[in-house]
Amino acid sequence: MNLRKIVKSNEFFLFAVIALMCIVFGLVSPSFFTVKNLFDVLKSMTETGILAMGSLVVMISGGIDLSFMAIAVFAMHTVSRLFGLYWNSAPMAVLLLCGMIIGLLLGLFNSIFIAKFNLPPFITTLGTSNIIKGFLLAFIGSKQFNKIPAAMIAFSKNNLLTISTDEGNANLHIGVLIFFAIAAATSLLLNKTMLGRSIYCIGGSPSSSERIGFRNLRILMFVYAFAGAIAGSVGIMHASFQRMSNPFDLVGGELNVIAAVVLGGPRVGGGYGNVTGTLLGVLLITLINNSLVMLKIPTFWQSAATGLIIILGTVAQMYRYKHSVNAEKGA
Amino acid sequence: MERPAPSADPRPARGSCFLELREIDKRFGGVHALDHVSFSICEGETYCLMGENGSGKSTLIKVISGVYTADSGEMILNGKSYRHITPTQAIEAGIQIIYQDFSVFPNLTVAENIALSNLVIRRKKTIDRKEINAIAKAALDKLGVELPLDREVSRLSVAGKQIVAIARGLAQDVKLLVMDEPTTALTHKEILALYRIIDTLKAKGIAIIFVSHKLEEVFSISQRIAILRNGKKVLDDSISNFDKNSLTYHMTGREIPSVPYEYIPAPHETTPILQVEGLSQPGAFHDISFSLHTHEILGITGQLGCGRTELAKALFGIGKNHGRICLSGQEVSIRSVQDAHRLGIGYVPEDRLSEGLFLQRSLADNMTAADVDELAHGILLDRKELLDVSRSWLNQLDIAAQGPEIPASNLSGGNQQRIVLAKWLQTKPKLLILNCPTVGVDVGSKNQIHEIVKQLAREGMGIIVISDDIGEIVTLCSRVMIMKDGRLVKQVNSADTTVEALERDVISDDDGREGV
Amino acid sequence: MKNLLNKDRHITRLLVIMAIVLAAMAVLNPSVFYSASNFSSMAVQFPELGFLSIAAALVLMSGGIDLSITGTAVFSGIVAARIMLASDSPDGPSVMVVVLACAAALLVGLACGAVNAVLVAKVGIAPMLVTLGTMNLFTGIGIVLTKGSALSGFPASFLAIGSGRLLGIPVPLLLFVLATIILAFFLNKTKLGYKLCIYGSNPVASFFSAINNTKVVFTTYVMSGLISSIAGIIMVSRVNTAKADFGSSYGLQALLVAVLGGVDPSGGSGKAAGIFIAIVTLQFLSSGFNLLHVSSFLKDLTWGALLVFVMVLNVVNAQSKGKKKE
C-alpha cells in the first residue's frame, strides 16, 4: 500500500519526468553524465532553489510573494555598496547576515498589508515589489557597483571540492552546501515544528486555525519575513557570483522560481506542498534551462519556454488532481 | 439570572462557578445576536443549550471560546474577570469546543487534527510523530472508534470528520466541554458511545454544555437547560421541571407546531410531476426511486452525509448520475444546472451566504440573477425593469427592506432567505427544491416562509423540502422520505407518524456503519 | 452627475485626487504643464494604457486577474509589424496590407485571450498562474519573432492610428473615448455585463443561479485579449517601433488604474467612468513627474505605493462602514 502511495504521488511523477529527461540528454550529449556537469547543475540550482524555499513557505500559507526578487536586489545592492565603500574587509558571514536582516524587514513590511489589512497577496506584493525596486533605484543607487567587499569575491571562488576531470575542473561550490542547508532547515521547520504545522493550518483553514489557538497574524508575519530573509541571502550570493552588484539584475527571474515551486505541488489555495517536491521542481526547471543552452537554443526562447512549462505543468497537475478526486468518489 | 425552584438541584454559590457570563451583548450589523445574556455553569454541571436556529446559540458559544468578542458584558473565568478572552486563553483555561462545522483541517492527517490543539496549549515547539499518534489513538479509543491515523481528513466522510472533531475535543484535559450538535452524522452505536463519554466526564466533575434540538438527547443527558430565543435567554432551569411539550412551548414560543400541510391531490391528474427511477450517483446515493405530484410537498431527511443534498443537486443537474428522471411523464436528461433551469426546476441551496446570495450586490440583482435571460431583450437588459420586478417581490414575500437597491448583506437571515426564494420564484418553476430553508432564520420568518411554501404548493407547484429539523418536516410535508448511507430506507406520510418517531427512525441503524 | 457622485465614493475620491494633482502642477510648473503641447502629448499617450486598463478591469471584475495583457499587446503589435515589413512593394505596404496587419493583430489578441480563457474556464487553473505563464509565453514569442531587436519603419497609413488627428483630436484619444463609452454600455445595459458582475461577486452562487459561468469567464478573457491587442496596435503606431519589452511597466499601471477607478480586486464591481477619470489622473501625475524631471524609478515607486495605499484605504473604509451600521 505504501509503495502505491509513493508511486501515485506528485513527487514520483516529477522524478520520472526528470529521469526521462536525463536519459534523453545523456543520449544527445554524452558529457551530460559527468561529475563536472553534475556540479555545474547543482551550482545553477542554488539561487533558484533557495528562493524557492521561501516561496514554498508563502504558498503553503495560502499566499504568494511576487516581491522576493526586488527584496533580493535591494539587499544585494545596499549591502554591496555600504560595505564596499565603508568596510570592504567585512567577513562573508556578516554580509550574509546583514542581507538577511534587510530582507527580513522588507518581508515584515509586506506582511503588514497582507496580514493586518487582509489585502490580496498577489496584487499587494506586485505593488510592494515596485515600491522596493523604485526606492532602491531612486535613493540607493542605480548604477552597477564593482567595488564589492573582498569577502564576496572570495566567496565566489570558494569551492568545497575540486576534482580534476577530463572536461576540466569539477568544482562543487560552497553555495550548494548553503542551499542544501537551507532546504534542510525549511524541511525541518515545516515538518518538525509547531510553527511549521501552523503554516499548513492557516493554508488549510484560516478560521479553524484561530479557533484552536494559533495567532494567524504572527504566523503570517513570520512567513513573509522568512521569505524576505531568504531573498536577502540570495541577493548577497548573487553579487558574489557575479562579482559585482547590478541593481537591474535578478528582477524578471521571478517566474523561474514560481514555476519551480508550482511544479513541486503546492496548490494555489494553500495548505499543501513540501520541500522534496519543490527541490524536484527546481531541478526540472534548471535542467530545462540548461538544456536550452546545451541544445544551442538562443536565450530569447527562454521566456517563452518557461511560460509554456508553467502552463503545461499546472495543467498536468490539475488533471492528476481531478483524476484522483474522481477515482476516490467512485470507490 | 433565574433561580430554580427549591425542589430542584441546588446550585453552588455564584463565586465557585467555573464560568460566568454577565450581560453579554453582541450585534452583527442589524442583527442583535445576543441581548444581555447572563449565564453560568459550574463544575460537574451538564447544561443543554437550546433554541431555534438564529436564536444566538452559536454566537454564545463563540463568545465562550474567545473567537468572538462581545460588544459589552463581562466574563468571569476561574474567579478572574475578563472583558473578553482569546481562544488561547479559553483553551488554556480548559474550555474545549466541538464546533458544528467541525473546524478541522482538510489538508492534515487524522492524527494531526486530533492532537494539534493539545500541543498548542502545551506550548510545544516541536513535533513528535509518535506523540501525535499516541494522543490521537487515545482520544479515538475513548470514542471506541477506529480511524486510519495518517489519512488526510479531506478524504474522510462527513461522519469521519465529525468524529475527528469530537476526538480533538477529548484529546486533552478539559474543564468545560462545549458540543454544538455533535450527533448529526453519527450512528446509534456511536451516539451511545458519546453518551458514555459524557457520563465519564460528568463523573470527573467536568462541566458540559450540549447544544441540541433533539428532545430525546436533551432529556437523557442534561441536568439543566437554558433556552435562547431571539438573542435573549428565556429559560434557565433544571430539566426535571419539564416535559417534552412544555419544553417545545418555551423553545418556539407557541404551543404545538402549526397546522401541518394537507395534501389535496389535483383532480384528474394522474401523472406525477416528477418520477425518479433507479437514480444513482457513485459515492453519494444508490438506486433512489420516488415520485412527486403537483400540489404535493415531499420531505427528505436523514443524517449529515446520507446523500440527501447530493440527491437534490442531482435533480438540479449537478453530479454524474445514472437513472431515469421523468418530468410530467416525459423522460428528461438533466446534465447541467442550465438544463434544470430550462426544465422549470428551481433549487434554493443549503448555505445561502455562500451558495445563494450575492452579498455585495443589490436586492434587485439578487432576485433577478436566475431569470436574466428571460428578462433581457436580446443582449440588452433594462435595469429599471429589474427594479420594478424586485419591488413586486419585496411586497409579495413581505421582505423587510428599504428598497431593492440596498446590498443583500444588510438584511437579516430570514429576509435574506426570502430573497433567494424570490430569485427562484421569479423563474416560475414547476418543481422547487428547498434545502434546509429555515436554517439561521428567526421564528417569525420561519413561519412566514412555511406559509409561503404551503401556498405555492396549493397553487400547483411540486415541492421537495430537505431538512434535518424534523418538526419542520412534519409541519410542511405531507410525505417524508428518510435516507441513510445513500439509500432510501423509509417512506411515510406525516399524518401517520410523530416527530419523535421520525427522529428515532433517522438515527437508528440496523446494520451499523461499514467504516468511514 | 450629482447622482453619480453621491452614489460612488470612489469617483468622488478620484476627482479629489485629480484636483489635488492639477493644483500641485499649477503651483510647481504651471507654464509647461498647462500648455497646449503638454496636453496634446498627454492626450496621445494615455489611450494605450487606457485600453490595457479596461482589459485589466474587466478581468478583475470577474474575480480573476490577467497579467498577460502587456504580453498580448506586444505580441499583437509585433505580428502586425512583421506583416507590414514583409511586404516588398517599393512604395511600402499598401493600405490593404496595413488593414490586414491590424486584423491579424486583433486575431492574435483573440487567440491569446482564448488560450487564457480555456485554461482558466475549462481546465480550471488559477488565473494568477495561467496568466503568469502566458505573460511569459506571449512575450517570449514576441522576442522570438523580433530576435530581441526592435522593428520599425511602418507606413504612414499605419502611423496615422497613433499620431493622426481627426478634427484636431488625436485618433487614439477618440478610440479610447469610444472604448470607454462601449465599456459603460456593456456594464450597464447588457446581459453579459450584468452576468460578469454577478459572477465576480460570488462564482458559487452564480453557478447555483443557472448562470453559465464557463461562458462568462471565457468571454471575459477573450475580450481582455482583444482589447490588449488594440493597445498593442496603438503602441506600435505611436512610436513607430515594435519591441518585445516595450510597456512592461504598463502591467502594474493598468492594475493601478483599475483599482483606483473603483474596481474591487476580489470581483464584482466597477464603473467605466471611474476608469476614465483614474487614467486621466494618472496621466496628469505621470506627465507632471516627467516635467519635474522626477526619475522613472520614483515614478515606479509611486505607482506601487499608490496601489497599495488605495487598497488599504478601501479596506479601512469598508471596516468603518460596517461599524457605522451597528
Residue type, B469: D
- CA A110 to chain C, closest CA, distance in angstroms equals 10
Q: What is residue A143's predicted lDDT score, i.e. its pLDDT?
A: 85
Which of B269-273, C56-60, C272-276 is the most confident on average? C56-60
Residues in chain C: 326
In the predicted model, what is the mean pLDDT of residues A298-314? 78
Tens of pLDDT along B108-122?
999 999 998 888 878
CA distances (Å), C7 to each of C11, C271, C318, in order?
Answer: 9, 11, 15
- CA B428 to chain C, closest CA, distance in angstroms equals 14
Q: Which CATH number belongs to the domain containing residue B444 in this structure? A: 3.40.50.300
Q: What is residue B2's predicted lDDT score, i.e. its pLDDT?
A: 37
Tens of pLDDT along C88-107?
676 667 888 889 999 999 99
In the predicted model, what is the mean pLDDT of residues C105-131? 92
C237 is in which domain, residue-wise? Answer: 46-289+297-310
Q: What residue ranges do the domains of chain A occupy?
A: 46-253
Pick from A128, A262, A305: which is nearest to C308 by CB? Answer: A128
CA closest to C60 among chain A residues: A123
Tens of pLDDT along C202-236?
999 999 999 999 999 999 999 999 999 999 999 99
Residues A74/A136, Cβ–Cβ less than 8 Å: yes
Tens of pLDDT along B82-104?
888 888 888 888 888 888 888 89
For chain A, percent of residues with pLDDT exceeding 70: 93
Q: What is residue B16's predicted lDDT score, i.e. its pLDDT?
A: 64
* Whether residue B403 sits in one domain with residue B513: no
Q: Which of C208, C223, C271, C317 to mutate: most B Cβ within 10 Å?
A: C208
Pick from A113, A133, A255: which is nearest to C300 by CB? Answer: A133
In the predicted model, what is the mean pLDDT of residues A208-236? 92
Q: Which residues of B306-321 are buried (b: 16+ CB within 10 A; e: fewer)?
A: bbbbbbbbbbbbbbeb
Report if residue C242 sits inside a domain. yes
In the predicted model, what is the mean pLDDT of residues B457-479? 89
* Whether residue B325 sits in one domain with residue B381: no
Model confidence at A34: pLDDT above 50: yes
Q: How confident is the model at residue B298 (pLDDT cuts 50, 70, 90)?
A: very high
How many separate domains does chain B show? 3
Backbone angles phi, psi at C39, to 5 degrees: -60, -35
Look up the pTM and report it: 0.87
C-beta atoms of B127 and A272 within 8 A? no
Q: For chain C, give the mean pLDDT.
A: 86
Tens of pLDDT along A251-276?
777 888 988 888 887 777 788 888 99
Distance of alpha carbon C283 from alpha carbon C303, whole angstroms: 12
Tens of pLDDT along C227-240?
999 999 999 998 88
C-beta atoms of C190 and B379 within 8 A? yes
Q: Which of C67, C136, C146, C260 to mutate: most A Cβ within 10 Å?
A: C136
* Whether residue B394 sits in one domain with residue B461: no
| Residues from chain A contacting residue B127 (CB–CB below 8 Å) | 191-194, 196-197
Model confidence at C76: pLDDT above 60: yes
Q: What is residue C125's predicted lDDT score, i.e. its pLDDT?
A: 86
Q: What is residue B253's predicted lDDT score, i.e. its pLDDT?
A: 60
Tens of pLDDT along B220-252?
888 899 888 778 888 888 888 888 777 766 766
Instruction: Give the count of beta carbons closer than 10 Å to the beta carbon of residue B20.
Output: 19
| Residues from chain C contacting residue B337 (CB–CB below 8 Å) | 207-208, 210
Given a contact as 3+ CB pairs under 8 Å, which chains touch C? A, B
* Whether residue B285 sits in one domain with residue B157: no
Q: How confident is the model at residue B6 (pLDDT cuts 50, 70, 90)?
A: very low
Residues B435/B466, Cβ–Cβ less than 8 Å: yes
Model confidence at B386: pLDDT above 80: yes
3-state secondary structure of B434: strand
β-bridge mates for residue C166, sequence order: C169
- CA B371 to chain C, closest CA, distance in angstroms equals 8
C-beta atoms of B120 and A212 within 8 A? yes
Q: For chain A, give the mean pLDDT.
A: 85
Report if residue B217 sits inside a domain. yes
With cell 499605419, the residue in question is: C158
How many separate domains does chain C show? 1
Report if residue C323 sits inside a domain. no
Report if residue B71 sits inside a domain. no
Tens of pLDDT along B344-375?
999 999 888 889 999 888 999 999 999 999 89
Last residue of a domain, one of B428, B460, B476: B428
* Whether residue B177 sits in one domain with residue B62: yes
Better-predicted residue by pLDDT, C13 or B135: B135
In the predicted model, what is the mean pLDDT of residues C97-125? 93
Better-predicted residue by pLDDT, A128 or B227: A128
Given a contact as 3+ CB pairs under 8 Å, which chains touch A? B, C
Residue type, A305: A
Q: Which of C75, C134, C137 to mutate: most A Cβ within 10 Å?
A: C137
Better-predicted residue by pLDDT, C110 or B268: C110
Distance of alpha carbon B29 from alpha carbon B513, whole angstroms: 43
Report if residue B9 sits inside a domain. no
Cα–Cα nearest to A76, from A229, A238, A228: A238
Model confidence at B135: pLDDT above 50: yes
Q: How confident is the model at residue B516 (pLDDT cuts 50, 70, 90)?
A: very low
Report if residue C51 sits inside a domain. yes
C-beta atoms of A212 and B283 within 8 A? no
Report if residue B159 sits inside a domain. yes
| Residues from chain B contacting residue C61 (CB–CB below 8 Å) | none
- CA C188 to chain A, closest CA, distance in angstroms equals 27
Pick from B30, B355, B381: which is nearest to C204 by CB? Answer: B355
C-beta atoms of C143 and A304 within 8 A? yes
Q: What is residue B102's predicted lDDT score, i.e. its pLDDT?
A: 83
Q: How confident is the model at residue B514 (pLDDT cuts 50, 70, 90)?
A: very low
* Residue B63 contacts A, CB cutoff 8 Å: no
Question: What ipTM was reported for this prediction?
Answer: 0.85
B416 is in which domain, residue-wise? Answer: 354-428
Residues B421/B357, Cβ–Cβ less than 8 Å: no
* Whether residue B495 sits in one domain with residue B421: no
| Residues from chain A contacting residue C292 (CB–CB below 8 Å) | none
| Residues from chain C contacting residue A315 (CB–CB below 8 Å) | 119, 123, 125
What is the interface size between B and C, counted as CB pairs within 8 Å?
75
Distance of alpha carbon C196 from alpha carbon C211, whole angstroms: 10
Report if residue C285 sits inside a domain. yes
Q: What is residue C8's predicted lDDT score, i.e. its pLDDT?
A: 65
Chain A contact residues (CB < 8 Å to B): 191-197, 200-201, 203-205, 207-215, 271-272, 328-331
For chain B, percent of residues with pLDDT exceeding 90: 28
- Cα torsion at A143, A149, A154, A158 (round to 10°)? -80
Last residue of a domain, one of B428, B463, B491: B428
Report if residue B363 sits inside a domain. yes
| Residues from chain B contacting residue A197 (CB–CB below 8 Å) | 108, 112, 116, 127
Q: What is residue C59's predicted lDDT score, i.e. its pLDDT?
A: 94
CA closest to A215 among chain B residues: B88
In the predicted model, what is the mean pLDDT of residues B150-165? 86
Report if residue B361 sits inside a domain. yes
